[in-house]
Amino acid sequence: MRKTLLVLSCFGMMATTVLAGGYQVRLQGARQTGMGLIGTPLAFGSSSIFYNPGAMGFSKSRFDFTVGGSAIISRMSFQSINSDYTAKTDNPVSPPFFAYGQAKITDRLTAGIGVYTPYGSKSVWPDDWKGRYLIQNISLQAIYIQPTVSYKVTDWMGFGAGLVYVHGKVELEKGVPYNEGSKANLKGSANNLGFNVGVFARPTEKLSIGIDYRSHVDAKVEGGDATFTIPAGVSSLIPATNKFDASLPLPANLDIGIAYQVTDKLLLAVEFDYVFWGKYDSISFTFAQSGNILSSVNPRMYSDRLIPRIGAEYSLNDKLQFRLGAYYDQTPTSEDYFNPETVSLNTIAVSCGVTYKPIENLRIDFSYLQLHGLESERAYLPANFTGKYRSFTAIPGIGINYSF
């Protein structure tokens, strides 16, 4: 009964959104998500491929496979500052996913591969909303594929490194100030490479420490498709179809965490993630035709941010574990260059999770993360667009791990 209640209280309320800092989505493991997205100082099997490749070799099993995903259900509200105008997004559910597999080649050497989606964003504002000349809707997704090797230098320390192949996709729509319904649709994809390196150490039975660095990747769209839905009267100025180039930075992360096994049943962890958002100072769109009218450089002025996280895991028995976590994510956006394409606010996040192990080698991890984007007045000065924003995100997630 108690167990049922616990499970219900955690997942009964699948209400409503997330994107924490910027457009980063750190939902690469259901177990880590339950603990406030802490993963660097934890050796939770093959999901270490993302969180800390240095920890891969600390898996007890020879083979370890993890798959899972989440459903990001997000709502953002906008309120004009000098009128009673309000707008709310109608965002579709965004489904980040992950899949990892690893195998011990020797006692010390582990190899694996991971596929995951650490950046993404989906916002759909009403068609006639007052910010439509900034953004109407946007869908952004980056899939990372990461082959990785990890080497245990000693029994208590390992390091790992992975090469990251990034495939990014973006589609956005914004209004064009001609007749009602005039709009521009931009669609493109990008491929690039990066890396992920980590060190994991367990100096005592109870203490573990992890450091991980994931590199900056530029998602460069070249020759993306631009389609303009505009009256014939302006087609001599703006061609209906066009090509564009743009580049979106996917920033580097430096994560440091410590975990401590307080009792046999209770594990506590803290982590600090430093996200190098400062690289994102502007985004430019360069068009092949009518570039003098259409091309633009748009300031974003993001700042680097440090995210503190805490998390706990409690093992009730061999079959059940519970998790709790929380973190505070300060928005990397600028007060004066806040574009509603990415409604990233100072965010308080709380998480919980539960694991059920039906048999020895199989675990099913459920997680639930809830983000509260705190109300804030923000402006995008180049468009003289100011308002108050608030967001709410609910993210139920599931992961399945099989190891042997």
Partner 1 sequence: MKTRILIFAIFSVVLVACQPEIDEFQASKGNADFTKYVAIGNSLTSGYADAALYHSAQANSYPAIMAAQFAKVGGGNFIQPVVNSEYGVLSGKRVLDFAADCKGVVGLSPVPATGTPEGLAHVGYAVNNFGVPGAKSYHLLAQNYGNPAGLVTTPMTANPYFVRFASSPSISVMEDVMAAQGTFFSLWVGNNDILGYATAGGENTQGDSITPVNFFSVIYNGLVSTLTSTGAKGVLANIPDITEIPFFTTVTYNGLVLTAEQAVQLNGAYAQVEAYLASIGVPYQYNFNFQAGANAFVIEDRNFPIAALPKALKVRQIQPGELILLTVPQDSMKCYGMGSFSTAALMPFGIPQNYVLDAQEVAIINNATAAYNVVIKAAAESKGLALADMNSHLRNLKSGLIYDGLTFTTTFVTGGVFSLDGVHLNQQGAAVVANFFIDAINKTYSASVPKAEVTQYPGILFP
Residues in contact with partner 1 by CB under 8 A are 2, 5-6, 9-10, 12-13, 15-17, 75-86, 88, 128, 130-134, 175, 177-180, 230-234, 314, 316, 322, 324, 350-352, 370, 372-373, 375, 382-385, 388-392, 394
Residue 85 beta carbon to partner 1: minimum distance, rounded to whole angstroms: 5
CA distances from 265 to 243, 385, 389 (A): 58, 52, 41
Residue 75 beta carbon to partner 1: minimum distance, rounded to whole angstroms: 6
Residue 6 beta carbon to partner 1: minimum distance, rounded to whole angstroms: 6
Residue 44 tokens, joined: 């939770």
What's at 2, amino acid-wise? R
Residue 195 beta carbon to partner 1: minimum distance, rounded to whole angstroms: 36
Q: Which residues contact 116 (CB under 8 A, 6 or more apart)?
A: 28, 50, 96, 97, 98, 99, 100, 143, 144, 146
Residue closer to partner 1, measured from CB, 84 or 360: 84
- Give the span between the Cα atoms of 132 and 173, in whole angstroms: 9
Residue closer to partner 1, measured from CB, 75 or 214: 75
CA distances from 248 to 283, 289, 384 (A): 7, 21, 23
CA nearest neighbour of 283 among 347, 190, 371 = 190
CA nearest neighbour of 9 among 324, 336, 266 = 324
Residue 341 tokens, joined: 């394409």
Residue 64 beta carbon to partner 1: minimum distance, rounded to whole angstroms: 28
Residue closer to partner 1, measured from CB, 61 or 315: 315
Contact 219, 248 (CB under 8 A): yes
Strands 282-287 and 266-275: unpaired
Residue 134 beta carbon to partner 1: minimum distance, rounded to whole angstroms: 5
Residue closer to partner 1, measured from CB, 133 or 156: 133
CA nearest neighbour of 392 among 363, 369, 362, 360 = 369
Phi-psi category of 335—alpha, beta or left, where left has phi over 0 and alpha has psi -120 to 50?
alpha
How far from the centroid of its chain's Cα atoms is residue 122's Cα?
Answer: 11
Residue closer to partner 1, measured from CB, 15 or 306: 15
Phi-psi category of 401—alpha, beta or left, where left has phi over 0 and alpha has psi -120 to 50?
beta
Residue closer to partner 1, measured from CB, 254 or 324: 324
Residue 186 beta carbon to partner 1: minimum distance, rounded to whole angstroms: 16
Contact 54, 391 (CB under 8 A): no
- Give the span between the Cα atoms of 75 and 128, in whole angstroms: 18
Residue closer to partner 1, measured from CB, 59 or 91: 91
Percentages helix, strand, coil for the chain (3-state, rounded to 5) are 10, 60, 30
Residue 358 beta carbon to partner 1: minimum distance, rounded to whole angstroms: 21
Residue 229 beta carbon to partner 1: minimum distance, rounded to whole angstroms: 12
Residue 219 tokens, joined: 């998602």
For the chain, state the CA radius of gyration.
Answer: 22
Cross-strand partners of 271: 257, 309
Residue 181 beta carbon to partner 1: minimum distance, rounded to whole angstroms: 11
Residue closer to partner 1, measured from CB, 115 or 379: 379
Residue closer to partner 1, measured from CB, 143 or 350: 350
Residue closer to partner 1, measured from CB, 61 or 376: 376
Residue closer to partner 1, measured from CB, 357 or 390: 390
Residue 354 beta carbon to partner 1: minimum distance, rounded to whole angstroms: 9
How many Å is the maximal CA-CA distance in the chain? 74
